[in-house]
Chains A and B, each alone.
Chain A
Amino acid sequence: MPMITYREALHHALREEMTRDERVLIFGEDVVAYGGAYGVTSGLAKDYGEKRVFDAPIAEGVIAGAAVGAAMGGLRPVAELMTINFALLAADQIINHAAKVMHMFGGQMSVPLVIRAVGGGGAQLASTHSQSLEPMFAHVPGLKVVTPATPADGKGLLKSAIRDDDPVLFIEHALLYRVRGEVPEGEHLVPLGKAAVKREGKDITLVAYSRMTLVALQAADLLSQEGIEAEVVDLRSLRPLDTETVLASVRKTHRALTVEEAWRTYGIGAEIASRIQEEAFDDLDAPIRRISGVEVPLPYAKNLEQAAIPDAQRVMKAVKEIFARTGG
């Protein structure tokens, strides 16, 4: 399998789906001449024409709303909002419209659309450009929220999202675009709502998503050197949430730690911990712990920003504390 970047994998997904289905079109901020803020749509306008790949003004409300309307009109739009922070300006369209059309009108119509946005911090962009807002959107029934961590999942999930008949918020991570990985060529679909065990282990389950999956994997490698075998579950989709894969892992390891870049309070880790204790309380040997982004607006200064974002050292420390409490 070829080793390509996350950016290239997403680009391939768009290209393949545009070739496969003429109803797929791309519009959003800087998708034509600029090629997308992170280069994902580079060259697509030239190859597919500006009737299928075109720029929208920096006006997130109309971008997201037009995507809903276009989907109602029979297209399968992929709208690009640049970053998840700007999705706040489109939150009304995403939550009040995209997530409601199917239900509010009695099931007469669904809205097959994808909204792509970049989330996460670590690039010193300060507090309004570095947020991890996926828990806010994952809270909403009617939406699907997808957060790929690897190039292969990026491609497979984006292709599935475009083919899905429901509105999908597809959240990429700013620090992953240059990460390389093996990606199958051609038809490669990853189902929405299915987590993946990215590393097997018997001692503890690390539940993560997006870039924190890589952090968890890094921590697991380091822990292995110390004799602790961590299993890493990558949620991949936050809604629908694959509880079964998490529970199966916890039933094997009897310990769990969640790792997320988003803020702790009311977060994804809280939801995972709650589901584990509801369904697998008797399997647990230790209380579930959470590693999350520090609850502050993300600062610009490099050292402060790094201190706010979870890393492998914090994950390892928490794992060791769990074992110190319960014994191996």
Chain B
Amino acid sequence: MGGKTAAKVGQSGLDKKTLLNFLHQMLLIRKFEDKAGELYARGKIAGFLHLYNGEEAVAVGAISALEPHDLVITHYRDHGHAIARGLDAKRLMAELFGKATGVAKGHGGSMHFFDASLGFYGGWAIVGGHLPLAVGLGLASNTLRKNQVILCIFGDGGTNIGYFYESLNVAKLWNVPVVFLCENNLYGMGTALHRASAIREVYRKAAVFDIPAERVDGMDVLAMREATVKAVAHARGGGGPYFLEAMTYRFRGHSMADPILYRDKSEVEEWKQRDPIILFQQRLREEGVLTPQDLEQMERETDELVADAVKFAEESPEPPLSDLHEDIYANP
């Protein structure tokens, strides 16, 4: 473990509404994921399904630091990032169902969420493959003077492939406004970090490119926000790329197909003691920001949002067969 933990809630400088909204988003992600897992088991959702349980503080804290015109580009465990960015849970669930109303019209599924109107640029399923894209998006931001910051999220498993080093090198050379955010959940699928990476402190890999880098407690939503605010300011101010390593843990398997034979139950239980949602609830209660009534209402609201999403997905039409030949070319 390790990584910076944020100051107490009261010192965070955030108002009650913002703080409660963080909790609301984290709860929504958790419930969305639990429901998706359940529906997968019932055969309503197919393909690969990678759930984000346990990592909610990373998405919610980091993405809260962005402006609306900034961009998020992420890996295939993308549900949490999409929800934190404000994508409509209904259309996300519909995408999981392979329906025409899904965010990618049923073309992409779980791993390829996308909503250009909200600056959510995917959902990419080749490990490390989207890091070069983030560099290109940063180049476009600089060239077209968009003042955009690109938040590029990937896992620890994405830091051992050539793309990672190529992208960090070019990001620094071209001075692009990219915040690289590594979600270090200690496993690349079923292979532990120490079996895959010669360096266990992933943030140190950025240091060789002279990119400022730090490790953050990814179970602490306020620590994630604080660190990302700083990283975003650095990038937006023309300082070039910044690197964050969020220490986190996924509570469920790599995907729904994962029997989880590679990690001890005791390790999982230990991390669950640091459940980011429970930790944040406790802190908000201690600070007097969250009342039992608030929590009860929030539980109800998020339950309803997920139920509405499922209903919407169930009732949505499948894509028409004519759609098979659509969207291959812009200029066919």
Contacts and interface: CB of A to CB of B under 8 A. Distances in A.
Given A59-B170, A61-B163, A142 B329 contact: yes
Residue in B73, B124, B169, B331 whose Cβ sees the most chain A Cβ within 10 Å: B331
B326 A107 contact: yes
Interface residues of B, number: 48
A70 B104 contact: no
Given A56-B170, A59-B170, A141-B328, A66 B135 contact: yes
Interface in B129-155: 129-141, 143-144, 146
B107 interface: yes
A74 to B, nearest CB: 5
A217 B271 CA distance: 72
B131 A65 contact: yes
Contacts of A105: 104, 107-108, 112, 114, 116, 122-123
Contacts of A308: none
A43 interface: no
B166 A59 contact: yes
A51 interface: yes
Contacts of B73: 69
B137 to A, nearest CB: 4
Contacts of B131: 62, 65
Residue among B114, B123, B139, B174 with most chain A CB within 10 A: B139
Contacts, number: 147
A65 B105 CA distance: 24
Contact of B126 (A70, A96, A144): A96
A69 B133 contact: yes
A72 interface: yes
A62 B140 contact: no
23 contacts: A52-B143, A61-B162, A61-B166, A62-B135, A62-B169, A62-B170, A65-B167, A66-B133, A66-B170, A69-B133, A69-B136, A70-B140, A70-B143, A72-B140, A92-B129, A103-B107, A105-B108, A106-B104, A106-B114, A109-B114, A109-B116, A144-B329, A166-B329
Interface of B: 73, 102-108, 112, 114-116, 121-124, 126, 129-141, 143-144, 146, 162-163, 166-167, 169-170, 173-174, 326-332
Closest 5 CB pairs of A and B: A69-B136, A65-B132, A73-B140, A106-B105, A110-B330
